[in-house]
Chains A and B, each alone.
Chain A
Amino acid sequence: MFHSTLTTFLLVVPLAVLTYAFDTFSEELLLKPLGNDHLYAHFQFATKWDTDPEQESFRHTHMFPRALGEIVARYNVQELHVSLTAGLWMYETWGYPIMDAAPGAELWVWFKEDTENVDKNWKELASSLSGLLCASLNFIDKTNSINPEYTFKPRGAVSSPTINSTFVRYSSLPREIVCTENLTPLKKLLPCEAKQGLGSLLNAGHIYNTRYHSMAIHMRPICRDSSCESVSLELQQSVSLVYDLLILEAKHWSFRKLFGQGVIGRCVLAETATIYVDTTNNESVPFQLKPDPDEYVTSFRGGYVHTYAKYDVQSYVMSLNANYLGKNKVVLNSPPAIYANQYITGYGQERGGIVTTIYNNHWSPLDVVFLQNIPWYVPIYLHTLKIDAGGVRIEPTRIHYIPGRQRERPYHLEVLVKLPARSITSLSIDFDYVFLKWQEYPPDANHGFYIGSAVVSTILPLARNYTGLPQDSSTISDSFNASRSGYLVQMRTESTVITLPTPDFSMPYNVICLACTVVALAFGPLHNITTKRLILIVKDNEHFIVKLKNKVVGIWTRRTSE
C-alpha cells in the first residue's frame, strides 16, 4: 500500500510540474524626488503567466492570485483595470505619474467578445471586486457606467482586428475613501504578501501618511513574444505614494522614515527585485545615497535623459538613506506638455456649468480626447458645449454624446479636439440642478454630490516629465531607453462636488410631532363628547354630613337587597 502511494506520488508530481505553465514575478520600487519638497515612491509588482487566458480555468495557480483569477474567468473578462486613490496628483508641478488614476475608485474593463450580457457581468464583476478589495465597488452599475468609444482602448493583445466598444465599461466612484482595509487584500494578492520583499514596506501606518496614495490592479493578455502567436496573462499591481517632506519634518529620508522599516529580505519567488532612485536632479538638489548603489542606469527616452541609482534587493534586511547636501538650488518648475483642471461654475441651485481647462505647453498642436462621465442627476445640455482657446472658438473634430436618462444611465460625452500650440483651451458645458426623490439623498445629503474627474487622453511626441510604462512592457526597467513614436498620457482632472437642492429632512419629523400632538390633544375631548352623555344634575343644598350619611345608607341598602 505504501509503495503504491509513493509510486503514484513520484509519478504525478513531476508530471504536474512539467505540465504547469511557466510564470514569473518581479517587484520594483522607484523613488523620485518631485521638486524640493515631495518624494514619489512607486511600487510595481508584475506577474507574468504563460498561459492561454481563453483556456485557463484558474483552478490551479502558482503566483497568479487565484481569488482574482476566478473572478476574471467567471465574468468573461479580457482586461481589468481597477484603482483606488486618495489625494490629487498635481500634474503641473509633479509631471506625469507612472500610472494615472482618478480620485476615489475607478474601474474599467474589457469583456471578451463572446460575453452575452455585458451589463449583467459588469454589475456582478463590480460586486465581486468589491468583496475582493473591501471597497464600495458594488455601487457600480449601469446607472453610472459608460462604454467609452475612443478613450479606453485595449491595452493588451487582442485577437480581433476590429475593436467593438460595446464590450468595454467604465465607471468611477469619486467619493470612495481608501484606507487600510483596501491595502490588506491587495497585499494578500502578492506572492510573498507582506512577509518578504518590497511588499514588506507597505505598512499602512506610514504609507497613508502621504499626500497622495493610489493602489491599482491591471490585468491584461500580452504577447508572449514578438511574433505574438501565443499570449500570456499579465498582472500588474502597483502602489503609488507621494510623500510631503514637510510632513515628514525632515528633508532627509530613509526607508525607516518612509515605510517604518527596511525591506525584510528578498521575496524568494521574485525573479527580479530592484530599487531605483531617480538621481537626474542630483546636481540641483544634491543628495547622497547610503549605501552606495550597485550601479547607475542612464535612460535616453523621448529626447530626455534620466539617471537612476539601482539597488538589487538582497536576502537580508535592507535599508536606504538619502542625505541632502548643502543648500538647495532653486529648482525651476517646468510644467509638463499638457495638463488639465476641472471646476464648477456659477452659483445658486438652479443652473451651473462644468469647465475643463486644458493647458497645452507644447510647441505644436495636440490632438486630445476628452471624456466625461456625468451622473444622471446633473443633466447637461450639449448645445451649451463651448470650446475656446484665448477667446477663439474651436470646432471639435468629433463628438460622441449619449444623453443620460434619469435613474437609468449617465451622460456620456467624448470630444476629439485639436488644441492649438501653446494655448489654454477651456471646454465648458452647462447643466441644471435637479430635485431628487427624498430617498435618493445620501445620509449626509448636505455634503454634496460628486461629479467624477474627466479623462484627457493624448499622445505626446516628447517624453518630458514622462515616467509612464510603455504599452508593451510591464516593469519599470522596461521603460528605460524605451523611445517610441508617441507616449500615451491619460490625465485625470479633479473630481468636483455640487450641492443639489436639498430638502429640510427634519421637517417631516417636526410635522409628525406637531400632528401627533394635535391629534392627542383633540382625541381626549372628542372621545369624551362622543362617548359620554350629558345629564342635567339637580343641585342640592344638603350638608356634607347628611350627604355622606345618605351615601352610606345607600350602599347598605343595595347590599342587603342583593
Chain B
Amino acid sequence: METYKQDFEWVDSDPFFRVNGSNIYGILRSQRAHSVESLVLLVSYEQNANFSDWRSHLSVGVAYELFRYFKSLKTLSRDFILLVTEGGDVGVQAWLTGYHYFPLKPSPTGLRYSPIRGYAGELLGGFSIDVRSLLVSGLQLSIAGPNGIQPNSDLLKLISSMSEEFNLHVSIEKQLIHSAAFLHEYLGAYLPFKLSTDFFDLVVNMLLSQITGLPNGPHGPFLNLNIPFVTVRTLEGTKSNGVDILYFGRIIEKVMRVLDTVEEKLHQSFFYYILVTDKHFLPLSLYFIPALFFFLSVSALSLGLWLHCISLIGRANPRAVNPAGDHLPKNLTESRYFKPHEPKGGLAFSLIAGQLRVSFFLAGLSILLAGFSTLLLLHFPTSVCTCTFASMGLFSALVSVPRWVFRSPLEGNWRLLKYLTATCTSSVVLGIFFLNFPLGVMVSLVAIPLLLWARPLAEDVIGNKLVSIIFRGHLYPLLIPPVLITATEKFLRRSPTEDLSLFTRAYYLLGVWSLPLVSFLLWFLFYSSVIILFCPRISIKLKKVIDFNGNNGV
C-alpha cells in the first residue's frame, strides 16, 4: 500500500484553538482499474486520545485489518484509501482541501497544510468508523452534514440491510434531543396509549439537525463536497446482547465491496430527506407538498391584500365614493373597509392567542400521532409524517388568512404596506423551503401568525414616528438571524465554558448564517424603501384617521 503523510495547522486568532497535526493515508490500488475512482475509509483519531487505553486505538486496528484483507482481493475495481486523521474536523478538512487542491491565500490565520502527494482519482464515498469495544450490540449512524446536507439514502439503506444479516440493529444518532422521556413522564400517566418516543425523537432530531446545519461526525467535510459519507459507531455490547467485532468488520467489508462494484456513483437526489424510521424516509417530493401549503398561505394573503388595495384605490376617488365631493367618508366607522376592529383583550392577547392556537394544534397533532403510533407508524410512517406537515401547512393557510383580510381595520397605505410585506415574506419562505425545509417550517410557523395578527400602533402611543413604524409588527423577521445564530452557537457548544473556534465558524456556520443574513439584508432594503416612499403619506393619513375618529389610534 502506498503511504503518504500530510501535515496541517489551524491558526486561530485565539491561541487556545490552535490545532496542528498530521494525517496519514494509504492508497490500495486496484488491480484492474487505472486509479480514476476511489472509496475512503476514515478513522478520525482523537486529538486527546488516551494512549494507555486500547479502546482509543481500536478503530485504527480494525481499519488496518480490513485493508490487510482488501489487499488480498483480486477483484477490486476502485482504489481504496485508508485515511487516519487527527485534530478532529480540522484534519479531515485539511486533507480534503489538499486533495482537491484549493489554492490558499496567504493569511496569518486559517488553515495551512502540506500538499497531497498521492492521488486516487475522484472520491466516490465511504465511511468513518468509530469502534470502542470488542463486543458490539448495534450500530449507530451519524448522518447530519453541514447546512442540512445528508448522505445519499442508498448508503444508509445499504448499511441497514447488511447489518440485518448479522442481527445488528442500526439506529440513527439523536444528537440534539436524546430522549422524549418527558412526554412519558408528564403525559404518559394520563394517556390510555403508549407513546412512540423513537419516532418523535427521530423526526424532531432530523428537523433540528437540518435547521442548525451542523455535522455530527467527521463525515461532515465530505458531505460538504457532495461525497456520500457516513459515520458508523459501534454500540458497546455485553456477552448477552453483543456480537463479536468481527461481524462489524464483515458489514463494512460487504458495504465497501458493494460500493466497489456499482458502476455509477450514488446519484439519486436523496440527499435531502427526513428519516422517519431507520428504514423509511420522507423525500423532497413528499415534504415539498406541505411546504407549498405554507407558501400558499402567505401568497393567498398577499393576493387578498392586493385585491383590497385595488378596490381601495377605486374608492379613494372622491367622485366614485361620494358625489358630494368629500375626500373621505364622513364617519370612517361606517365604512365597511375601515371599520375598526378591536381585538378582544388588546393587541398582546391577540398575538399570544394566535400563537397558542398554533401551539395547541401542533401539540394535539403530536399526541394524536403518538397515540396511534403502534398502528400507523408501523405501516405508514412516511404517510404519517407527510400528513403531519401538510396539516401544519393547511392550518396556517386556512385558520388565519380570512381573519386578517376581512376584519382588519387598516387604512389603505397600511394595507399596501402589509401587502408588500406578505409578498416579501412569501418569496423568502419559498426560498428557505428550497434550501432547508425544516428551517422553512420553523420560519413559517413564526412568521405567518405574526404577519397575520400584526397591526399598526398609533404614533402617539409609541411617541416616536420611526419607532412606531419599526414596532408595527413588520420587522419581526429581523429577529430570525440573531435567534438562529444564538441557537446554533448554543448547540455547537459542547460545554457551557467551551467557545467556538474560528474553524467552526468559518466552515460550518457560514451556511447556517448566510440565509438569515441575506433575509435580514432584504428586509432592511425593503423597509428603507417603504419608509422613504410612504412615511409622509402614512403620517398624513393617520392624522386624518385620528381626527375623524375622535380618538387616538385605530
Binding site for B on A (CB under 8 A): 85-88, 90, 103-104, 174, 209-211, 244, 246-247, 341, 343-348, 353, 355, 428, 444-448, 450, 494-499, 502, 504
**A247 pairs with B264, CB closer than 8 A:** no
**B72 pairs with A246, CB closer than 8 A:** yes
Q: A86-B34, A246-B72, A247-B74 are in contact. Are A497 and B121 (CB under 8 A)?
A: yes
A-B contact pairs, 12 of them (CB 8 A): A88-B33, A103-B34, A211-B31, A247-B74, A344-B122, A345-B101, A355-B101, A446-B265, A448-B265, A494-B35, A495-B34, A499-B265
User: In the bound complex, how far is the Cα of B269 from the Cα of A496, in angstroms?
Assistant: 24
**B101 pairs with A353, CB closer than 8 A:** yes
User: In the bound complex, how far is the Cα of B35 from the Cα of A86, in angstroms?
Assistant: 11
Q: Which residues of B contact A247 (CB under 8 A)?
A: 31, 74
Expressed in whole angstroms, the minimum distance between the Cβ of A153 and any Cβ of chain B is 26
A-B interface, 10 closest residue pairs, ranked by CB to CB distance from nearest: A103-B34, A345-B101, A446-B264, A446-B267, A88-B34, A343-B119, A497-B36, A347-B225, A211-B31, A447-B264
Whether B29 sits at the interface, judged by CB under 8 Å, is yes
Expressed in whole angstroms, the minimum distance between the Cβ of A352 and any Cβ of chain B is 9
**B100 pairs with A345, CB closer than 8 A:** yes
Listed residue (B31, B100, B265) with the most chain A CB atoms within 10 angstroms of its CB = B31
**B263 pairs with A447, CB closer than 8 A:** yes
User: In the bound complex, how far is the Cα of B122 from the Cα of A485, in angstroms?
Assistant: 40
Q: Which residues of A contact B71 (CB under 8 A)?
A: 246
The one of B31, B36, B269 in contact with A494, judged by C-beta atoms closer than 8 angstroms, is B36
Whether B37 sits at the interface, judged by CB under 8 Å, is yes
Expressed in whole angstroms, the minimum distance between the Cβ of A39 and any Cβ of chain B is 14
Q: Is the interface of B mostly helix, strand, loop or mixed?
A: loop
Expressed in whole angstroms, the minimum distance between the Cβ of A376 and any Cβ of chain B is 20
**A87 pairs with B264, CB closer than 8 A:** no
Interface string of B239-278 (1 = CB under 8 A from A): 0000000000000000000000001110101000000000
The one of B37, B101, B264, B269 in contact with A343, judged by C-beta atoms closer than 8 angstroms, is B101
Whether B22 sits at the interface, judged by CB under 8 Å, is no
**B32 pairs with A498, CB closer than 8 A:** no
Interface string of B30-64 (1 = CB under 8 A from A): 01111111000000000000000000000000000
Number of A-B contacts (CB under 8 A): 78
Whether B175 sits at the interface, judged by CB under 8 Å, is no
Q: Which residues of B contact A448 (CB under 8 A)?
A: 36-37, 122, 265
Q: Which residues of B contact A428 (CB under 8 A)?
A: 101
Chain B contact patch, size range? 20 to 34
Interface string of B383-399 (1 = CB under 8 A from A): 00000000000000000
Q: Which residues of A contact B29 (CB under 8 A)?
A: 88, 90, 211
**A498 pairs with B263, CB closer than 8 A:** no
Whether B350 sits at the interface, judged by CB under 8 Å, is no
Q: Which residues of B contact A496 (CB under 8 A)?
A: 36, 121-122
User: In the bound complex, how far is the Cα of B122 from the Cα of A495, in angstroms?
Assistant: 11
Whether B179 sits at the interface, judged by CB under 8 Å, is no
Of chain A, the residue at the smallest CB distance from B265 is A446
Q: Which residues of B contact A174 (CB under 8 A)?
A: 34
User: In the bound complex, how far is the Cα of B119 from the Cα of A353, in angstroms?
Assistant: 15
Q: Which residues of B contact A211 (CB under 8 A)?
A: 29, 31
User: In the bound complex, how far is the Cα of B29 from the Cα of A87, in angstroms?
Assistant: 9
Whether B6 sits at the interface, judged by CB under 8 Å, is no
**B101 pairs with A495, CB closer than 8 A:** no
Q: A88-B29, A447-B265, A504-B269 are in contact. Are A497 and B37 (CB under 8 A)?
A: yes
Q: A244-B31, A247-B31, A347-B226 are in contact. Are A494 and B119 (CB under 8 A)?
A: yes
User: In the bound complex, how far is the Cα of B172 from the Cα of A342, in angstroms?
Assistant: 39
Q: Which residues of A contact B225 (CB under 8 A)?
A: 347-348
**A495 pairs with B36, CB closer than 8 A:** yes
**B119 pairs with A444, CB closer than 8 A:** no
Interface string of B3-37 (1 = CB under 8 A from A): 00000000000000000000000000101111111
Q: Which residues of B contact A499 (CB under 8 A)?
A: 122, 265
Listed residue (B34, B35, B265) with the most chain A CB atoms within 10 angstroms of its CB = B34
Expressed in whole angstroms, the minimum distance between the Cβ of A123 and any Cβ of chain B is 26
**A87 pairs with B31, CB closer than 8 A:** yes
Expressed in whole angstroms, the minimum distance between the Cβ of A333 and any Cβ of chain B is 11
User: In the bound complex, how far is the Cα of B263 from the Cα of A16, in angstroms?
Assistant: 56
**A87 pairs with B32, CB closer than 8 A:** yes
Of chain B, the residue at the smallest CB distance from A353 is B101
Q: Which residues of A contact B72 (CB under 8 A)?
A: 246
Expressed in whole angstroms, the minimum distance between the Cβ of B2 and any Cβ of chain A is 8
